[in-house]
Structure 1
Amino acid sequence: MIPKFEVSIIIQKPIAEVFDSVYNPKKLAGYFTTAGASAPLNEGATVQWEFADFPGPFPVHCKQMTQNKLIVLEWEASEGGYNTQTEFVFEAINSNETKVKVYETGWKETEKGILSSYQNCMGWSQMVCAMKAYLEYGINLRKGAYKPLSEQTTA
């Protein structure tokens, strides 16, 4: 089994607004990167994403960006030594609805690689739901959902 997945959602906003919520670091931090994103996702750029509940910033490489259509990202797999790739595909359903699809591929067929793919599938599912809540209702679903790293305990 080659680990890969797709998640999707329909957001009741125009495509330019939905695209910008992933591309624009200030908007992305409003619902997803709880400790910030260093720069826009321009093609060829390497930006730092950071989460309050995850140890430190990590580099995200924007491999491809087509305005209002596609963002392709790459970063190191959690088990290290190779990269995975994530594609955001934006499709206008009509002038006020946009379908967002997120695909991720590239894990090794190891126990850790497969587990990481499941964890990322959960994360991207949460991300698109948080994006919908943020864009349609101005709500940040991640606020209070995860303990900051400094408050986490190991059991």
Structure 2
Amino acid sequence: MIPKFEVWIIIQKPVTEVFNAVYDNKKINSYFVTKQASAPLKEGETVQWEFADFPGAFSVKSKQVIQDKLIVFEWPNPAGGWNSVEFHFESLNAQETKVKVIETGWADSDEGISASYGNCMGWSQMICAMKAYLEYGINLRKGAYKALAGA
């Protein structure tokens, strides 16, 4: 079995606002990236995302951006390869947006499956945190993850 997952949520905000919450580093720094996202996810550019709960920065290579529709990027996986992450944005009406996250690229191994479960949990938490931030101005990740020992 090649690990792959998809998670989604409906957010009570217009699609442009939800799209920008992922694309804009200032926005994503407010509810998901616990240290710093270095720049917006401009197509063709590589940015750095750094989290308090994982040591070091992650390179995020923006591959495709379609305003209010799609963001595709690659980032490293634990086995040394690159995973593909897709954010799909669907406007349900003027005040509701469905956002879906799909990640692929793990090795077909026990380690790959285990890592995919961890990322599935992470993206599920991310979209819930985005909903709380956009709808209520709450940062669910603040204080939720402490720096790892030695990080």
What is the CA distance between 1:76 and its match in structure 2? 1.6
Gaps of 5+ in 1: none
The one-letter code matched in structure 2 to 1:27 is K
Gaps of 5+ in 2: none
1:4-43 equivalent positions in 2, closer than 5 A: 4-43=4-43
Structure 1: how far apart are the matches of 2:135 and 2:74? 28
What is the CA distance between 1:54 and its match in structure 2? 1.1
The one-letter code matched in structure 1 to 2:144 is A
Say if 2:83 is the partner of 1:84: yes
Partner of 2:45: 45
Q: Matched residue of 1:127: which SS?
A: helix
Say if 2:133 is the partner of 1:141: no
Partner of 1:94: 93
Partner of 1:104: 103
With structure 2 as the length reference, what TM-score do the two structures score?
0.97
With structure 1 as the length reference, what TM-score do the two structures score?
0.94
The one-letter code matched in structure 1 to 2:40 is P
What is the CA distance between 1:117 and its match in structure 2? 0.5
Q: After the TM superposition, which segments of 4 or more aligned residues of structure 1 sit over 6 Å from their partners? A: none
Structure 2: how far apart are the matches of 1:75 and 1:34? 17
Structure 2: how far apart are the matches of 1:141 and 1:125? 12
What is the CA distance between 1:40 and its match in structure 2? 0.4
Q: What is the aligned length?
A: 150
The one-letter code matched in structure 2 to 1:54 is F
